[in-house]
A = this chain, B = another copy of it.
Amino acid sequence: MLMADSTKRRELQVDLGERSYPILIGPGLLAEAGNLFREKGFPLKAPILLVADAAVEARYAPTLEASLRQAGYTVTRAVVPSGEQSKSLEMFDELITAALEAGLDRKSTVIALGGGVVGDLAGFVAASYMRGVRFVQVPTTILAHDSSVGGKVAVNHRLAKNIIGAFHQPEFVLYDLDTLKSLPMRDVRSGYSEVIKHGLIWDADFVNYCDERAERLLALDPDSLGHALYEGCKVKAIVVSRDERENDLRAILNLGHTIGHALEAVAGYGELLHGEAIAIGMVGSARLAEKFGYGADIAAETERLFRKFGLPVRIPGGYSTDAIMAAMMHDKKFSEGKMVFVVPKAIGEVEIRGDVPTEWVRSIVEGLKEENGV
């Protein structure tokens, strides 16, 4: 029973017509990359660029590469320094150079091995190199259950996060759970922030599951972890399938991100982890719900849950409210100057509101600051 659980594989499909693709979740998948590439008809002659996060390269790239080489592929490795700072145009430029030097052609593939940083960065390289080549995501963080699905790829600009990017779907997502064992605890917690987000926007039962299993999830118990990533990916896949280009529905995935992105920008990329920033942002959105007359328990529940996962729920000291508000104004979720927010109506249900007064947001930001009480 335990044996069966810990070797269990899960599979999901992202339905996007011609661009549909599978998400494979389970242990031991790195070693099967070669077979998968063959099965899916990736051409043997087209060189592959493997873009790996420096923190995972030595541990996992050799297994992945060996599998691809054994299947007959040519692979060149490019290593990216860990951290949000790497999601820059400079690093993008370096990877384009690496792709050229590795002789990548129009039939080539770019693989991202790492968390959301490498996924977003390598994905934008895949989207832009020769106007688009194949892309495969091999996520190695919990957070990347979110970033590896849905085709949003981007780099940051010093004035705003993810402002330069594209929609470029992967050919498949290969989620080897074994790679998560080396993930630092702070990143484990940060990753669960997006997992819980998927519950908060779509599925109250799944929020309960996370609540009840918090300890096991944080300990990376294989079956709980596999289930949570599967459920998180499932919500993401459903939403993306219905609205790939964020014309309407997809925007609900931005719960907590308006304040979250602003905090990341103001903190300096990398100070606050993405999952941490959006946890604070989700508490902010829940407080907005209260202002709109929805239950006050939403904010209390949201806060309790994030605390249980060891995530921050207050804005760390020293950030200026003006700077945070200014960063929000640069955020792309503002259309035509109005403030748009994803607001919870209950746990597991959200709505998109385009009528949020700036003053409400400012007072919530103010109230969330550590110095104003915990």
Contacts of A160 in B (CB 8 A): 100
Q: Is A107 an interface residue (CB 8 A)?
A: yes
B164 touches A96 (CB 8 A): yes
CB distance from A76 to the nearest CB of B (A): 15
| A45 contact set on B, CB distance < 8 A | 336-337
Q: Is the CB of A131 within 8 A of B167?
A: yes
Shortest distance from the beta carbon of A293 to any chain B beta carbon, whole Å: 28
Q: Which of A279-287, A302-310, A327-335 contacts B (4 or more CB under 8 A)?
A: A327-335
Task: Name A100's contact: one of B105, B127, B159 (CB within 8 Å).
Answer: B159
Q: Which residues of B contact A334 (CB under 8 A)?
A: 105
Q: Mark A149-178, 1 if CB is under 8 A from B, else 0.
A: 000101001011001111100000000000
A93 interface contact, C-beta 8 A: yes
Question: Which of A129, A131, A166, A330 has most B Cβ within 10 Å?
Answer: A131
Which chain B residues border A43 with CB–CB below 8 Å? 336
Q: Which of B107, B131, B337 contacts A152 (CB 8 A)?
A: B131
Complex contact B336–A163 (CB within 8 A): no
> Considering only CB atoms, which chain B residue lies closest to A99 in the complex?
B163
| A96 and B157 within 8 A (CB) | yes
Chain B residue contacts of A103, Cβ below 8 A: 329, 337
Q: A152-B131, A164-B96 are known contacts. Are A335 and B159 too (CB-CB below 8 A)?
A: no
Would you call A106 and B335 a contact (CB within 8 A)? yes
Complex interface: chain B residues within 8 A of A16 (CB)? none
Query: What count of chain A residues pass the 8 Å CB interface test?
Result: 37
| A43–B338 alpha-carbon span in the complex (Å) | 14
Residue of B nearest to A89 (CB): B93
Stoichiometry (number of copies): 2
Verify A107–B165 contact, CB threshold 8 A: no
A334 to B100, alpha carbons, bound, how many Å? 12
Closest-by-CB residue of B relative to A43 is B336
Are the C-beta atoms of B131 and A97 separated by less than 8 Å? Answer: no
Bound-state Cα–Cα, A332 to B108, Å:
11
Min distance, Cβ A294 to any Cβ of chain B, angstroms: 27
If A131-B152, A165-B131 touch, whether A330 touches B89 (CB-CB below 8 Å) is: no
Q: Considering the chains assembled together, what is the distance between the CA atoms of A160 and B154 in angstroms?
A: 22
> Does A46 reach chain B (CB closer than 8 Å)?
yes
Instruction: Indicate if A249 sits at the interface (CB-CB under 8 A).
Output: no
Q: Digitize A250-294: 1 where CB-to-B-CB distance is under 8 Å, 0 elsewhere.
A: 000000000000000000000000000000000000000000000
Contacts of A336 in B (CB 8 A): 43, 45-46, 105, 107
Complex contact B166–A100 (CB within 8 A): no
For A329, list chain B residues within 8 Å (CB): 103
A154 with B131: in contact, given A160-B100, A330-B100, A334-B105 (CB under 8 Å)?
A: yes
1/0 per position for A297-332, CB-CB distance to B under 8 A?
Answer: 000000000000000000000000000000001101
> Is the pair A332, B166 in contact by a Cβ cutoff of 8 Å?
no
Nearest CB of chain B from residue A85's CB, rounded to whole Å: 16
A-B pairs, 8 with minimum CB distance: A45-B336, A130-B332, A131-B165, A100-B159, A128-B164, A105-B335, A89-B93, A131-B166
For the complex with contacts A105-B336, A131-B167, 4 further pairs of A-B residues with Cβ separation under 8 Å are: A100-B159, A106-B332, A131-B154, A166-B166
